[in-house]
Structure 1
Amino acid sequence: MAEITLVRQHDIHLTEAEKEIARRAMFGYVDGLGERGQKQWRRLWNRMFKLEPGEMMHIQTNLPRSGPYHRRHMKIEQTVFEAQERFQIFDQFLYWVKVGAGWVTWAAGPSGGVVPIPRSISYATADQDEFQQFHEQVMGFLRGPHAARYLWPHLKNGAADEMMDSILMGFQE
């Protein structure tokens, strides 16, 4: 989900004619779906035009996620999980991958130290853009210097990296 904070600029002033041109462009090019959606879309733009200089507005958007992209990513994770030797439970593996990829929120731990809390990748919390970012971070972690050696501790002299490469290359990663 993309979160956008808008701020009304101090040095830009639009005339009513310029505002009307912008409204016509936005309501003609893109419009809300159905009567309710159209009212909500117009209400949003009217509120933006009424902002005072320095006043802010926060918008959340949710772009649909690509089902095939999501399934492909999950298949990659499942394939790595099934081939590795460290984890018996998939959720624990997924938490480890999220932490390794940096897909976390940092928070104070119970003893006062800072701990990583894995972020959600649910459809409601991570739209397509965010999920693509997550995927890229995971691929970077899996291809990095630590993941393969940890997942296959008995493999030495680059064999663990070769194991990871063989899995990821099967997905053109």
Structure 2
Amino acid sequence: MTDITLVRQHESQISEADKDAARRVIFGIIDGLGERGKRQWRRLWNSILRLEPGEMLALQTHLARSGPFHRRHFALEQALFDAQERFEVFEQYLYWIKVGAGWVTWAAGPSGGVVPIPKSISYAAADENEFREFHLQVIQFLRGPHAARYLWPHLKEGADAMMNSVLEGFNE
């Protein structure tokens, strides 16, 4: 889910003619689904156009995920899991990837220190934009200086080549 905060920038007035033109363009291209959706869509834009200078409006959006991209990402994770030598349990491997990619919430640990808690990448928790950001962070982590050497400890110099061979199979 993406949070967007809008703020009215300055005092200038929008003429009624400009508001009408904006509405014609906005509602002519995109509209709410069904009567209820149409009413909600118009209410949203009317609220935006009535904002006073400095007034803010917060929106939450949820962009449906791309099925092919989602499946490719998980196929990449599975291929890497199958090729690596460190983890026997897939769930632990996924936690390691999330922590390495920084896809975490930091919280107080049981002894008072700070610990990473991996965030969810479920459809409800991460829309298309967030999932793509997660994917980029994962690739950056996997291409970084530590992941390959950790997943293939016996390869020493060949670990990076092994990582490259898996990632390049997915054009990453």
What is the TM-score of this pair, normalised by structure 2? Answer: 0.92
TM-superposed CA distance for 1:112, in Å, is 2.9
- Map of 1:119-134 to 2, 5 A cutoff? 119-134=119-134
TM-superposed CA distance for 1:15, in Å, is 2.1
- Map of 1:35-46 to 2, 5 A cutoff? 35-46=35-46
TM-superposed CA distance for 1:60, in Å, is 0.8
- Map of 1:133-148 to 2, 5 A cutoff? 133-148=133-148
SS of equivalent to 2:105 = strand
Give the count of matched residue pairs: 172
Cα distance in structure 2, aligned partners of 1:134 and 1:12: 40
- Map of 1:158-169 to 2, 5 A cutoff? 158-169=157-168
TM-superposed CA distance for 1:43, in Å, is 0.8
SS of equivalent to 1:11 = coil
Q: Deviations over 1:48-86 (max 9, x none)?
A: 122222221111111111111111100110111122122
TM-superposed CA distance for 1:10, in Å, is 2.8
Q: Deviations over 1:15-67 (max 9, x none)?
A: 22222221111111211122111111001111112222222111111111111
Extract unaligned runs of 5+ from structure 1: none
TM-superposed CA distance for 1:152, in Å, is 1.2
SS of equivalent to 2:154 = coil
- Map of 1:18-57 to 2, 5 A cutoff? 18-57=18-57
Cα distance in structure 1, aligned partners of 2:111 and 2:11: 49
The runs of at least 4 aligned residues of structure 1 exceeding 4 Å deviation read none
TM-superposed CA distance for 1:8, in Å, is 1.7
Residue type matched to 2:155 in 1? L
1:93 and 2:93 correspond: yes
Identity of aligned residues (%): 69
Q: What's 1:115 paired with?
A: 115
TM-superposed CA distance for 1:139, in Å, is 1.0
Extract unaligned runs of 5+ from structure 2: none
TM-superposed CA distance for 1:92, in Å, is 1.1
Q: What's 1:154 paired with?
A: 154
SS of equivalent to 1:100 = helix
Q: What's 1:172 paired with?
A: 171
What is the TM-score of this pair, normalised by structure 1? Answer: 0.92
Cα distance in structure 2, aligned partners of 1:20 and 1:113: 56
Cα distance in structure 2, aligned partners of 1:5 and 1:32: 21
